[in-house]
Structure 1
Amino acid sequence: MNDNKNDNKTRPAGLFIGIAAVIVFLALGIAVWVEGPRYGWSRDTRIIVELSLCVAMLVVVLLVKYLEGVLLWIASLRASRWLARYDAGRRAASVDHNAKDPLPEQTDRAAVLRDALQDRHGRRWRYRERWVLIAGDEPLVKRLAPGLVDTGFAITGDTVLLYAKQTSSALDADWLDQIRRLRRRRPVDAVVAITRNRSVSNAPFDTDNLSQRLARHARALRWAAPTYLLNVTDFGSDASSPDETSGFTWSNAHVSTEAIDVSLRNLTANLADAGVARLAKDSGDRYPAELSQHISNLRNALTGLVLQTSQSRTWRHAVHGLLFAPLFTERELAPPVPADANDDDQPVGPSHRTIWQTVAEHSRRIHGYRVGFSLSTVAAWLTAGLIGCWIVGTMLSGFADRATFRSAADTVVKLSSVRDGAQALQTLNGLGRQIDTLEVRQRDGAPWSARFGLNRDHALLGALWPYYADAANRILVNPIRRKLEARLHQLASLSDAEIASGGDAQVQAAYDTLKTYMMLAKPERAVATFLIPQLVATSAPEHPTHSQLSKGGWEDLRQQAIAFFANHVGDGAASAQAALAIAPDGNLIASTRQTIIGVRGIQHSGDAIYQQIIDEATPKYPPLSLATLLGDTASQSSAGGATSRGLFGTTATVPGVFTRAAWDERISKAIDEAGEQRDVAGDWVLSDTQVANASPSTLKAELRQRYFDDYARAWALFLNSLRWQPAPTLSATADQLTLLGDPQRSPLVALMNAIVYQAGTGASAQSLSDTLLSKAQQLVGADEKDPSKQAKRQLAPLAATFGPIVRLTGSDLVSGAPPGGKGNTSPAATGDLSLARYLERITAMRLKTSQIVSSPDPDAIARLAAQSVLQGKTSDIADSRDYASRVAASLGEQWSGFGALFRAPFDQSWQVIVQPAASSLNEIWRTAILADWNKTFGGRYPFADSDNDASLPEMARFMRPDSGVIAQFVTSQLAGVVERQGDRWVASQGTDSGALTIDPVFLNGLNKLMRTSTVLFPSGDARVRYELRAEPTPGVTDMRFVLSGRELHYFNQKQEWTPFEWPGQSLENLSHIEWQTEQGGLRTALDSQGRFGLVRLLERAKVVQQDNARYLLTWTPDTSQGISLKVQLRSEAGGGPLDVLQLRNFVLPARIFVTGSANAGVRVSASGPPPLPMSAIEAAKHVAVPLPPGLPGEGALPDTVVQATTDQASGQRTALELAQAKAQATERGAAQQTAAAKATISPLATTSGLSESSSRPFGHALSLLGDAFVF
């Protein structure tokens, strides 16, 4: 007897499952009971949860046996799978060692098939080909598909043939199960059932055996695929019928006997015809004829085969085809095809590939169905059931919510239309009850009938609040407000003695009245327990005189409305509180507060304490100016110290009490003493600034915070008032940049050092022991990864305010700042934005300006540097200005004025560089574009009132939107300052054009030409398509509009649109109108000739726009009869030919940039003569004798003069005369510019902008004097 017989005894898994379930539920119960109060769960809620957990635990314990069975089933499946993999591996290993060419049955057929398909199609191999299962006797299958019986599968073309052996009644279910596992969704696409021909024509087929065979296949696969019956014959040979298929298929699920019989008859006839034809060619080719005879003999048996198979008692199969194929006796012993053979290799013999391909192709149009239990089918039905339940619940929820919405809408409509006071208050109370119901639903949950997705209680509640607020203010709050204001007015009219005579009760009543009024003005302060009795005591609103509601009922209704209002006025959202708040009377509140404070003797003393501290310290510390801050004295300037002269300055000062010296010496001590000795009392009702009974530490903190707020505000005002001092010339700008970029003498560095020192005010200095202790803490916690456990450095009180400025210097405001603060701050800082990098940019700009000043032709160098920016190219100047802008932006909005000081040097340098470029571009525009324009279109229609028409090709050359002369000039020369947005030219928003002012007239002219050219030259050439339709006119019997060879003839018939095109293709460019009245004969008027005859005709019409595409044109050729001829015009785009009228008297702008006298005063070079005094310039403006023309540099009229002349003439002449005057002035200017361009100019000239020389008196003399001076 073995003593260890129980050593391997298995223990039931259910025991462990039950123990684990009990432990889990116990842990959940303990967690719910202990942690429940943290989430607001009450005792009852926790008890309910505990009971639910207990019930769930009992259910799990009862189902332990079932869970154990499930686990054992899963374990058995895993074990069986493992054994299958193990056996397959063993067999593969034995094959590798014992045989060089193993047979397919000795290996894992499923793995071989999977690998073969993966090699052919990759990852998506399962459904790329059609899988056809062959069911039949082995001898027949061997003769139809050699090798398929041995391997179980064969790949032919795009079809995978499958076969499962069957011995007597036993089926190779394992192989079918492997097939099912390979393709779980659709194991096979079709089943081909093979039947043998009968020797006796009337003998029926063995349909029962066939049905049972198909049923066994379907059960094994759990899938019923479409079935095709294949009847094989013994006649036929490889030579006569190598690979051909005969038969027919259908897609219907059910087919009748008549349909099968008719199909067989048709097939018999077709085969007979084909057999006769093939016998005539080859007497040995007898297969079609024999097959026709075979089908004719067995037609009834074949019909019965199909019907009995599809309607079998054993299994109803979906038969979709009847096919015929010959058997080849010589193929029975053919060798099997290797599983890894290439499909493209030449097969050994006929493989009936056409049969399988036919079945595969036809099976794509029909599908099978699952057999037995299917998890996916059950899941689909469950999902459909859940969706149906959800739809029903959603509809029920929708009906319930719709009823709620309708009730709320009816209440709101009634509330807005009711006029009776009692009914209004009743409706308001009803709306309050609806809101209360929605709040309860939102808090506790909506009913189950309203929870299926369509519940909108939250949205409805938010939509009802504005209506309730409006109605409550009108019905309830306004009467109460009037009562309270009347009491407050009465209280403010009483003296302190009269109020005090009533005792504390009267004073408290006055205070409560003011508090109630303030709660209505500030709903966030409202307290329902205090507000309800106060509002009820007002007896407002009063009982209506003619109301049928009793006084008791009215009082109850009023109290309910007040209670709901008071409970919600302070608990709602910010928007709801704002809607319920009243607009208080500030004067009334101030006077009432003053009265109550005078009686009660309570006031806010914090302001007085702070002001007293500041007043006591102000005389001892004088204001701090910029010169004092920088030490800008004569001795320091002579010694080479920092000075702000010539760079920036300000007249503002910093109060002396807001300096570090004042804080260290007096202010901090005074605040500490005030915090220890005094207290502050306050009340939000009596003061807008709430100060509760503060402790000394709280008072000290508040005083310190207020001081540092004022400290930061004073320094912000001072630093934001700093202004850069502009320099008139580029050499002076270079001198400024030299001083500014020197780290040793730069006043900006000195100013930043002073700011860093002053910003450290209030930072506590650490002692030696504190410093050593902090160092030790940093060393110990250096490896600490958790940020919350690392030692935090205490920031100075002004760190948040001065942080953006101090970060530029590389310093940080912490408590451990250097004591005394006498060390200079290094300009080096980490990061891209720093003072050191800024000074590098200043130095680079200074080198650039020095290069321009020292060059032989400063104007040309400056013009080239600026034009690269104006043309949209990158440059160091643009990058430096962008860096300065980013430095200024890093300071934030609070230091915006101080940030402008960083941009000013670069803006000034850019301004003095860009002016010559602007003048040069104006000059190029006049000489290259304006002169050619005036030469081409001067005195021509439509640009002038003339009989001479402008050339359309020339207009296209100038005005084409993309390739015109003007468009090319703008895109090539002005890419950096002007950009195209759609069909409009607008000024760019970049910073590089900050020193330039684009003439609005120039942009308006460009946009006018762009709008016109878009319509006039849609494809490059002038072509405007439009349509005309005449309007009937009383008294006019016939109208004829002749336009460029085409005409619109209207004699009161049906109105029709007549297409026109301008300019027309006809050589006859005549436009006129003919009409005939009832009393008179044919008349003609408004004759116009030339290409612009149509435009001249439209110019005389009165145009009324009817919609976006149609215009009504009206002519009155004979004013004596008052007859108006009307025509409707419709174009493809815009106004069509009407848009050409915008070019009437159009004058091309004479300049691009506005370069007035202010801008002209900035000179690039300092090597020229000094400028004249302003008094001499003003006197020269009134000189009677102008400067003689023809001097060197004489150009066209300056921009300002042309503009002034135009503006002055506009008030004295008509629009037509003004346009002519502009055109003549432009032509004269272009001629003068051309002459000036041909004149010889000294290459040593250094003056900027010759075109602006005549805009100032003595301009020519100055230019000559400059040439002589340089020479």
Structure 2
Amino acid sequence: MNKQWYWGILFFVLCIFLLFAIIIYFHGDLVGLDTLIQRVTALLFLTLGCLIFLILYSVGLLSWKKLGEKDFLSFIKKDKKVKDKNNNKKDQIFFNEIKRYFYAQFGLFWRRKVRKCLVLGTSTDVDTLLPNLINDHWQVTDQTLMLYGGNAENEIDKAWLKTLKNSLGRIIGLRRKPLDAIIWLLPTNYLQLNRQQQYRLEKIAMQIRERNKVLGWQVPIYLVSTRASEWQQQGRIEQSIGLFFNHLKLINLDSVDPLLDHLAQECCEKGMQQVMQDLGHDFLLRLSQDLVTSDKARIKQWLSKWLTLPKINSPRGLLFAPVPQEIKEDEENYLPEHYLLMTPTWQTISDDSVKQSGSRIGVAWEMMVCSLIILVTGIFGVGQLTSYYHNQELIMDSTRLVNNINQSAVASYSDQLEAQYALLLKMSQLMYRKEHGAPIRYQFGLNQNDKLLNALWSHYTMANERNIAKPFFKWQSSYLVRLTAMSPSDPKRNEVINSSYEVLKAYLMLSNPDKIDVNYLGDFATRMWGTPANIQTSQWQKLMPELVKFYGKAIQDHPELAQKPTKQLVQDVRQILINQIGIQNAENTIYQAILQRASQNYANQTLTIMLGDIDSRMLFSSNEEVPGVFTRKAWENFIKDEIASAAKSRQEQIDWVLSDSSKVMTSSVSPDVLRQHLTERYFSDYSSAWLLFLNNIQWRQANNVADVIEQLTLMSDVRQSPVIALMNVIKYHAEVAYSGGGLSDNIVRSAKELIKERDPAKLNVKAEASGPLTPTFGVVLNLMNSEVDNNGMSLQTYLLRVTQVRLKLQNITSSANPQAMAKLLAKSVFQGTSVDLSETRDYGNLIAANLGDEWLGFGYSLFQQPLEQAWQVILTPAAGSFNETWNSQIVYEWEKAFAGRYPFKDSDNDASLAELARFLRPNAGMIDKFISNELGGILEKQGENWVINPVNAQGLNFTPEFIEMLNLFNQLSNLLLISGDAQISFDLMARSGGNVMRSELYIDKQKLDYFNQMPVWQRFTWPGDGYSPYAQLSWSSDETGQQLYEYYSGDWAWIRLLESAMIRQIDSGRFEVVWKVANDRNLKYILRSQSGEGPLMLLKLRNFSLPKNVFDIRNTEESIKVTL
């Protein structure tokens, strides 16, 4: 459809649409559309319908166009198929003509009588040797059929060849032999093996291979070479000239030489005879001359080239054919259609091809299938005869056994058992065959195994109920009833209890098909079921186990045969046995027995044995040993299996024999509880043994810097460090029974470690999962595990810091003045400016503290003491020089300011409060400044007090006097110098005393006058205004006037007055101050302080002297020795 038609149809549709729209809108009443809404709705539907039509029309037209193109392509393909089909039909007609011809000549089996030859060659060569073959397509004479197959170089016609195979092929071993020979008419220049000829030869060989592949047959190839002569050969007697090859191969190509020589000789002899008769008959003589002079070598070369081609069969023969004599025209008219002009050459090829069967290409499936069918048929026939004989014999044997069973019902018990045993053997045989299949001699469709087994089963059930089931179950019941009837005091009761478990187990098996163990039942019957009086013991021991086993198997397969137990009897026996097991199998007894057996196989582990080739004596040693039973090897190879065996033994006793699945098992005898308790106790003892060993490790004392450096060097050596080796040993033994990682990984790792294929000093940082020893060893393992967040603490970091300390100490020993360098380092430590040494020491202390109290000894020996020694060898010698600094800077100034003055001495001269404040003032005083500048690293200010740094001050012994001084001065400074200047505020309240009417107290012009009125508190400040410092106490009684008790002047007057009083502490803030003025008269006052003891604190300065030494160096063994 062209575009004009397309747009024309669209225009026509639009016109129809407009026509209907006009009718609907203007004359809608004619079609029932009276209202405007109805008309508009109708127009909308009409528009929608028109749009849908246009869309469908366009899509349909496009689809039709595409379909037309597709149909055209299909037509082309179909036309090709039609042509192929027509060609196939034409070929079939061609071969049907040949078949009809030979069928008329030779009958039904003409294919075996006719010799079929396929001729290949150029049209020129074929017309020369076989005139009219190309036009006739096939020619025949007598029993020889010549088919023209086209040029050997052309592409093959597979359809034509397949039709040839199906039409002309004769059956040979279920395969069709399509041809007897392929005749290739060689071109006249075939011996000229130039590059072009070689290419043609390869192409022809490939086409011949393809023909054989389509035909499915390796057809013999005959090579025919056309030989022309310069003279007419009319009248010459023609012979078949050529030679045949038997499986010619490249390796035996030299065998062609004698054949060609003999052919040349024969041609020469016969050729001479023909030439003598007619000089023009030179064909044979010329052929002989060509073979002798040149063709022999070229023929051999050509054959060599042919045989080197891949997958090509060797030629059967090489023949030389002269140009045939021309047939006269009048003679040709009398020749029949498709007549083959037979020559000696064709006759020779035809006769020889009959003797050559050729060979198949590919697998002979037809022959294989036919042979297989015959073989299977024969085997099945013989098998049925054999199966009939054996099944008949089996039926007769089973019938005999059934008769014996029936007859033995009235015989003796032993005869009954023998008959049942014989039936049992036969049924066992049948049951085995039912499960695994009967032997092949019973098969082939005649197998009676299952039918016989079903027939024998009823007879067995009857006999077994009489001979085994009832007697066996009755004996078990009586045995258990006997146990329940025995009193606890019966001496034979324990003996019966020991065997009652087995009886109860067998008793329950017979009533629970899913619990039956046939081997146990057989063994139980042999040991426990006594021999009856009317049967021999040997016979009983032989028959009974097998009969009971088969009975148990029968209950498994047929639960309806199970016995019905007495529930109350079972419950009573279970309770008796459970009570007995709880007594005999106490956990402690089992546990100690396991350890006792293990101790015979595993020796105790010393530190030397654990570390192997690593010598730890330079660093640490231990006199303790770890018992061999508490090692990983003992657990994995012995203890674990022993605990499992104990639990299994308990499980075997309790799981179903002594417990009912509907009730909860008593926890005291539960196998799971036993396993759990034994395991927990073992690992508890395991942890304790290792903690005892590790906490008793002692670090070797080093007396000088050289020893310390040597220790730290060995300690941080990642290859030879005993510390790393010991940590790896701990890790190996602590990871026992770990659940992390794959099973194969743990096995391989354990094996490598056990056979010493590891470096014990190599730090292992692999992360592991949690295990039973994690609560104890987890803190140690975390030090070695860099993948776990352990608050920055790890063994690697610790050893790195140890290396830093060692390098610093080595720098001291290698300096020009080691003594000065050591003192300088110690001073920096005192002052808190030595970061490396202090931080490393703190890091070791932190690790030891993090290990906890359980690892106290181990943490101190391996992490604290090594650096403690390094700290001490530096700080201890420097402590003496620091005492000198203290005396020169502080003590000297103190003595200069306060020597011979009150309150430090009994003297009328008072010490200056301003001078005292200069020494004691917080932060700004001389003592605070000295401590801050010189001891800032080991003393630190916490609040208002100086506190010894417990970490940095370790190894340094402060003198007790110095510590007491610090405490005293801290209290005084907080009390006296809180505002900067020396001043104390306190409250006094006078109390009435016997025979004292009035008392007056003056403190720096501050007066407390008391005359037995209501006592009140009065605030005092000491010292006062400073212009007239004094203190005075006077009193009066009803007998005497005003009397002076004591008067002191000076800054310390109030302290002097307090010194003469008796002081008693009432509570934390109040003190009773009593002055005894006469034998029977006391002046009482209550002193209340806002902080501490108030002014009473200053009494502690009486006879106080500043200590001469800060550090106690009397116990220091020797000063530092630096060896270069």
TM-score by length of 1: 0.37
- Larger CA Rg, structure 1 vs 2: 2
